[in-house]
Structure 1
């Protein structure tokens, strides 16, 4: 062997030996990695996804890098600047801002445990954010694709076309480690070795001098390496032009055979040890053990080019694409739709089966969910599609299915078999509720009444004619006494031993619809269109929790009570949760209002509209989860998942201090100018799971005595605070969580004007007291001078008041138009004279006189003529009374009516009234109007067989009524037949 060949072979052997030795410290046996405990993680289809792009505040849709700093902020590097995200809004930093970069393109973001953020981008721009301050660094020669700190706080730079650069932390001097190459990504392992992915493959660097090219000899393809990570198990994974590779015993092996032809440009290992891979044109892959899942544009990803991947402190996966920012996260609610295999998205009914399965009925069919697998239940011997409204389980575990237009079906051998329709006994094929009672009767709530099918197949029908409040049946339930409860579109009914009892919900609660029931030992809970109604089954006493008690909506579709005594109420504006203690406090009258949590879109629900009008529209499953039918899928939640999110640590920050329109730096203590009148403080809870659900409390020490609830408001404003020292502090929590100890605060001092100082205030107080004393002395002299005038005025005013009282007394008892006594005076006469006549056993008659066709007088001649007619008749009546010896009292009753109190029996009074009638009929009214003729009708009665005077007035009025409706111009005495 020649010497040249021997040396060449020796170099290769030594290189390979060194490479294998370097790997021995952190290479993990494949079987060891696979045997590590791996937490169960969500399937890609179970994540809740969201997308942000430029309309939401991002400076550009091309996302290059994502990171999170220890204060909780999320940072997004784009082609047009750096964006800081607080869960609600983006704050953008571009070229020329305090970030200090020469260009807006951001390619790399690296955060440290010390809270620093290293930002790098185009034109070699480099800047560090430390303690909320930006520290621009010397620029490099070209665009920086990646920048990291090594274990000694020196900086390593991956440059576009210029290779790998080392920058000393003290001298800031750059040293070229690898030149004339495109460097993409840098990682340092636990042994201090630097790994860099480049356009020529993978390189390793030890001690800044020993550079090794890791090529096909070590299992990597001869192609560009775009990204690299070091896993928690200290294993290297490289993303290349031809797939992803893991290092096992010194040799790189394919991560998964399906990835062989994928261009991997981003990598992430999540907290559950799953590997996420971002590709150049096929979206995301997630590798859980040996199971590979894919997410691309066809199922929600905004773009198939995934340039960055990041997991935040709340375990959400953030994805940077060429068309926006994308997130996958676990949410309180998980929603299943047609994407997961349901027949339809418009869900009407969901049933928890005793065998542990779940049944979901939609407008497009029936599905069964068993151990996470979704199957479709089809109609036997037919391709027809059923619109499912209701579900129920029989004692023999058979599933009954009520449909919208095709009657009742049963599931037999995983096929739908038709049982009954209108052709063989149903009043309607629209079945909205099914109940199998304790004696195995089947009850069907239809759009045309209730049908009871006995075990012997006898059919009995109940409808409005039978006593139901309405034919439209929505819900059915059986209580522990065997009563069947029937919810309709116009109230509630119960059936017990052959008899129906109706409950009119609108009488007490203004409710009509009983959408759903939940039965407990001694309670029936009703979901209605006026809130949650409760019936005590022992006493039938009804009470309710309504919008007046704080519920956000009137209309509740279904009630589910979980194993933690939480009430879940479905509505068309989301899902409401309340504790039993809160509800009981209202039911028992201890409190008038409740606290609740409302879950809508953004917490895993794809639609805020839960469905109702068929049952069960929500159910409690045997694993403790609550399942709800919505307009876009079936959603489920469990207490553990909700509580885990509620207990998430919420970093809180003060973001802005604005005083009279001017922003102040967020220092530990801020001195504000004199006269500061409007102080606005903006703050945020830096959590991203349910940012809009975060609730806040604030307290201004020096002003507030306790914490103030701010609900979801992210700012607090103070006006016209007194000069002095203040400390503002705030805290946050998720719904169902506890207030956390994380508190953000800022102190400020308001400087006083001279007139706000203590000495000036004391001077003002002295001047005020002296002025008061002077005013007192002057006032005492003025009072003495006024006493004499006051005595004279009092005497004069006493005389005037007496005259005024006499005038008021006259006006109170007299009619202004005629001068006769009025109705008030007449009532007084009747009361007194009736009692006197009763004691003396004397006759007393009341007559009521009405001018005939008086409206025609007003209409034909005017109201002025009408008034003159009334006055003339009053004069005629008054004159006749004066001329006759009969003792009579006259009053104007009102309008065209007069009343007379006659001290005689009704026979004599009748003659007297005839005289009045004839006199008026024959009277010449031509001086008032040329062709006018006036007649009157009179009704009368006396005090015989009457114990109360007002009964006399009523009977006289009835007699008058009879006279007017039997020809007018006559006198009538009250007869019982009238």
Structure 2
């Protein structure tokens, strides 16, 4: 109910919610309801939402709700104190209905349905969000482990498996199996790509390539085609691109071209191909390669990539590029990649996302495919060892608009020994010692990713960015008055206007004191006068001795 002058007015009926014990309206206008023993609910534009059981607060009465300055919701109840925070990524796991959490492939079909292949079988996420298992069975009656997915031009879905061949699922849900009896090599089918010239597919096996058409399974005979494990595959207008653990082959008609990536950074294992304009981007065990106009360029560890092995590169509609790896999902821009590949920039700025950002498991899977995809609604989906993770790139700006964290000076050490210091006033620091100042941004949101910058007034003219380094050290500061300014920001956000400032004075050493320097000057002057008088005396004595001879 909402209270008005004329009385209470019913806003929404809540069938099934028997006893609300706490209520909060957040900054977005959503209403949070704590209950006696049914957990936490949210009422907003999406209707009534209830936290899943595996993420719900422990059973018992919710007594209080509070929203902090960063938008986190704090929940106090019989089960303890909880904090709910909004994350960039969301997930689909077995708790949501997937057959398995170890997801290897994800693909959207022409009906905007999402196909998900995992170690426990094949699922389909319908447009309304429902997860429907696709019934496939191997020779022993079990669901096959699905490694790769594709959709052919006739709308049929294809699933490559771990040791159980390939399944074709037509639009009516009927499936057909291709195995050794049909001429398919034994082993794993890690990658597939729709045939651009018909209603079949190309498939990469442990013994090279095959082409499956309405007529059956065919093995290409072009000289130079790889005969071992195929780890990446793409049928494009520029030919059939084939990635293996020994580099790249491109099939054009009956001609095979070999691209030598080993000589540029030592790349060998190829995991994916992404055409962007007139360039082909290639993911590998040595970072990213770009092939354009017959030339290869590389963006790897030396150019700022945080990891060596990357699996799938997916551009979105906002200029971002999402890159999966077994150590999280990376994000940069296509313009930044081109700048490094063209030599206009030496290093690239990359953001890395993991469990802190909401991923259930930051280990993205690769060497199967497609292991990540961009849906028609603009969302990015990636296969991980802990389910399927999703991010809406359009929400990035919302996360960047968060208030920057306030920052405080946390500690001061002199030659490693803690110093009793004052936030207000001026702290005296003996000269000749190593000064180490620790500081911290006050935030519950991704605190280990907060970036810092410092400026030592009295020495520095400009700010010096420190990354996520939480201390700064000064050695050999000359005597004088200083003020250390510290500012912080969340990744991609803005710098905090409220700075931490610590004022201190470096006291001079004994020989640096003015009184000592004045006394030393007087002594030096007296010594020079004495030396002068001594030399004059010797000169006169010498002249007298010479005159007497």
TM-score range, shorter chain: 0.7 to 0.9
Which residue matches 2:249? 493
Deviation at 1:341, TM superposition (A): 1.9
| Residues in 1 aligned to 2:528 and 2:306: alpha-carbon distance in whole angstroms | 55
| Residues in 1 aligned to 2:438 and 2:421: alpha-carbon distance in whole angstroms | 12
Question: Structure 1 residues 28, 573: CA separation in 2 closer, same or farther (over 3 Å shift)?
Answer: same
User: Which of the two has greater strand per residue?
Assistant: 2
Question: Structure 1 residues 763, 605: CA separation in 2 closer, same or farther (over 3 Å shift)?
Answer: farther
Question: Structure 1 residues 350, 430: CA separation in 2 closer, same or farther (over 3 Å shift)?
Answer: same
Deviation at 1:503, TM superposition (A): 2.8
Counterpart of 2:156 (choices 398, 409, 412) is 398
Which residue matches 2:169? 411
Which residue matches 1:717? 473
Deviation at 1:570, TM superposition (A): 1.0
Q: Is the 8 A contact 1:343 1:376 kept in 2?
A: no
SS in 2 for 1:452: strand
Counterpart of 2:76 (choices 320, 326, 329) is 320
SS in 1 for 2:264: helix
SS in 1 for 2:378: coil
User: Are residue 579 (structure 1) and residue 333 (structure 2) matched?
Assistant: yes
| Residues in 1 aligned to 2:263 and 2:524: alpha-carbon distance in whole angstroms | 63
Task: Please give the per-residue CA displacement for 1:25-50, whole angstroms capped at 9, x wherever unaligned.
Answer: 484533xx46xxxxxxxxxxxxxxxx
Question: Structure 1 residues 414, 331: CA separation in 2 closer, same or farther (over 3 Å shift)?
Answer: farther
Question: Structure 1 residues 666, 628: CA separation in 2 closer, same or farther (over 3 Å shift)?
Answer: same
Deviation at 1:676, TM superposition (A): 8.2
Question: Structure 1 residues 676, 386: CA separation in 2 closer, same or farther (over 3 Å shift)?
Answer: same
Q: Is the 8 A contact 2:156 2:170 kept in 1?
A: yes
Deviation at 1:703, TM superposition (A): 1.9
| Residues in 1 aligned to 2:51 and 2:427: alpha-carbon distance in whole angstroms | 53
User: Are residue 373 (structure 1) and residue 138 (structure 2) matched?
Assistant: no
Which residue matches 2:207? 448
Which residue matches 2:315? 561
| Residues in 2 aligned to 1:561 and 1:593: alpha-carbon distance in whole angstroms | 20
Q: Is the 8 A contact 2:150 2:159 kept in 1?
A: yes
SS in 1 for 2:427: strand
Question: Structure 1 residues 566, 294: CA separation in 2 closer, same or farther (over 3 Å shift)?
Answer: closer
| Residues in 2 aligned to 1:403 and 1:673: alpha-carbon distance in whole angstroms | 68
Which residue matches 2:451? 695
| Residues in 1 aligned to 2:132 and 2:73: alpha-carbon distance in whole angstroms | 32
Task: Please give the per-residue CA displacement for 1:302-324, whole angstroms capped at 9, x wherever unaligned.
Answer: 55443332222332222234454
Counterpart of 2:27 (choices 253, 258, 271) is 271
Counterpart of 2:358 (choices 570, 593, 604) is 604
| Residues in 2 aligned to 1:770 and 1:547: alpha-carbon distance in whole angstroms | 65
Q: Is the 8 A contact 1:377 1:416 kept in 2?
A: no
Which residue matches 2:543? none
Which residue matches 1:552? 306
Question: Structure 1 residues 290, 597: CA separation in 2 closer, same or farther (over 3 Å shift)?
Answer: closer
Which residue matches 1:517? 273
| Residues in 1 aligned to 2:181 and 2:507: alpha-carbon distance in whole angstroms | 88
| Residues in 1 aligned to 2:354 and 2:343: alpha-carbon distance in whole angstroms | 29
Deviation at 1:266, TM superposition (A): 3.2
Task: Please give the per-residue CA displacement for 1:358-396, whole angstroms capped at 9, x wherever unaligned.
Answer: 222111122222334132242269974131111112223
Higher relative contact order (CA 8 A, sep 6+): 2
Question: Structure 1 residues 747, 363: CA separation in 2 closer, same or farther (over 3 Å shift)?
Answer: same
User: Which of the two has greater helix per residue?
Assistant: 1
Scaled by the length of structure 1, what TM-score is found?
A: 0.50
Which residue matches 2:540? none
Deviation at 1:486, TM superposition (A): 0.4
Equivalent runs, 1:854-865 vs 2, <5 Å: none
| Residues in 1 aligned to 2:345 and 2:402: alpha-carbon distance in whole angstroms | 30
| Residues in 2 aligned to 1:755 and 1:589: alpha-carbon distance in whole angstroms | 52
User: Are residue 626 (structure 1) and residue 380 (structure 2) matched?
Assistant: yes
Question: Structure 1 residues 396, 719: CA separation in 2 closer, same or farther (over 3 Å shift)?
Answer: same
Question: Structure 1 residues 770, 610: CA separation in 2 closer, same or farther (over 3 Å shift)?
Answer: farther
| Residues in 1 aligned to 2:315 and 2:493: alpha-carbon distance in whole angstroms | 19
Question: Structure 1 residues 701, 410: CA separation in 2 closer, same or farther (over 3 Å shift)?
Answer: same
Counterpart of 1:728 (choices 476, 480, 484) is 484
Equivalent runs, 1:332-371 vs 2, <5 Å: 332-371=88-127
Which residue matches 2:403? 649
Counterpart of 2:233 (choices 455, 459, 476) is 476
Deviation at 1:764, TM superposition (A): 5.2
| Residues in 2 aligned to 1:636 and 1:451: alpha-carbon distance in whole angstroms | 32
Question: Structure 1 residues 297, 432: CA separation in 2 closer, same or farther (over 3 Å shift)?
Answer: closer
Q: Is the 8 A contact 2:40 2:56 kept in 1?
A: no
| Residues in 2 aligned to 1:485 and 1:639: alpha-carbon distance in whole angstroms | 29
| Residues in 2 aligned to 1:743 and 1:259: alpha-carbon distance in whole angstroms | 47
Q: Whose radius of gyration is greater, 1 or 2?
A: 1
| Residues in 1 aligned to 2:243 and 2:468: alpha-carbon distance in whole angstroms | 37
Deviation at 1:604, TM superposition (A): 0.9
Question: Structure 1 residues 658, 270: CA separation in 2 closer, same or farther (over 3 Å shift)?
Answer: same
| Residues in 1 aligned to 2:78 and 2:474: alpha-carbon distance in whole angstroms | 43
Question: Structure 1 residues 543, 290: CA separation in 2 closer, same or farther (over 3 Å shift)?
Answer: closer
Counterpart of 1:658 (choices 397, 402, 412) is 412
Task: Please give the per-residue CA displacement for 1:131-190, whole angstroms capped at 9, x wherever unaligned.
Answer: xxxxxxxxxxxxxxxxxxxxxxxxxxxxxxxxxxxxxxxxxxxxxxxxxxxxxxxxxxxx
Task: Please give the per-residue CA displacement for 1:515-566, whole angstroms capped at 9, x wherever unaligned.
Answer: 1110123211111111111111x32x21211112222221111111222332
Deviation at 1:767, TM superposition (A): 7.2
Aligned length: 523
| Residues in 2 aligned to 1:299 and 1:572: alpha-carbon distance in whole angstroms | 25
| Residues in 2 aligned to 1:576 and 1:290: alpha-carbon distance in whole angstroms | 30
Which residue matches 1:427? 185
Equivalent runs, 1:25-104 vs 2, <5 Å: 25=5, 27=7, 29-30=9-10, 33=11
Counterpart of 2:343 (choices 589, 598, 609) is 589
Deviation at 1:609, TM superposition (A): 0.7
Task: Please give the per-residue CA displacement for 1:841-880, whole angstroms capped at 9, x wherever unaligned.
Answer: xxxxxxxxxxxxxxxxxxxxxxxxxxxxxxxxxxxxxxxx
Deviation at 1:426, TM superposition (A): 0.8
Which residue matches 2:539? none
Which residue matches 2:224? 467
Counterpart of 2:501 (choices 732, 741, 745) is 745
Q: Is the 8 A contact 1:296 1:303 kept in 2?
A: no
| Residues in 2 aligned to 1:26 and 1:722: alpha-carbon distance in whole angstroms | 73
Q: Is the 8 A contact 2:148 2:369 kept in 1?
A: yes
| Residues in 1 aligned to 2:153 and 2:529: alpha-carbon distance in whole angstroms | 93
User: What runs of 5+ residues in structure 2 fail to find an aligned partner?
Assistant: 532-549
Which residue matches 1:966? none
Deviates more, 1:632-641 or 1:349-358: 349-358
Equivalent runs, 1:268-307 vs 2, <5 Å: 268-288=24-44, 291-295=47-51, 298-299=54-55, 301-302=57-58, 304-307=60-63
| Residues in 2 aligned to 1:369 and 1:297: alpha-carbon distance in whole angstroms | 21
| Residues in 2 aligned to 1:555 and 1:773: alpha-carbon distance in whole angstroms | 76
Q: Is the 8 A contact 1:268 1:277 kept in 2?
A: yes
Deviation at 1:627, TM superposition (A): 1.2
Scaled by the length of structure 2, what TM-score is found?
A: 0.86
Deviation at 1:269, TM superposition (A): 2.4
Task: Please give the per-residue CA displacement for 1:418-452, whole angstroms capped at 9, x wherever unaligned.
Answer: 24222112113522111113212521111221002
| Residues in 2 aligned to 1:271 and 1:504: alpha-carbon distance in whole angstroms | 55
Q: Is the 8 A contact 1:479 1:520 kept in 2?
A: no
Q: Is the 8 A contact 1:479 1:521 kept in 2?
A: no
| Residues in 2 aligned to 1:259 and 1:740: alpha-carbon distance in whole angstroms | 42
Which runs of 4 or more aligned residues in structure 1 lie more than 6 Å from their structure 2 counterparts after TM superposition?
Answer: 380-383, 765-775
Quote the RMSD (CA, aligned, Å): 3.2
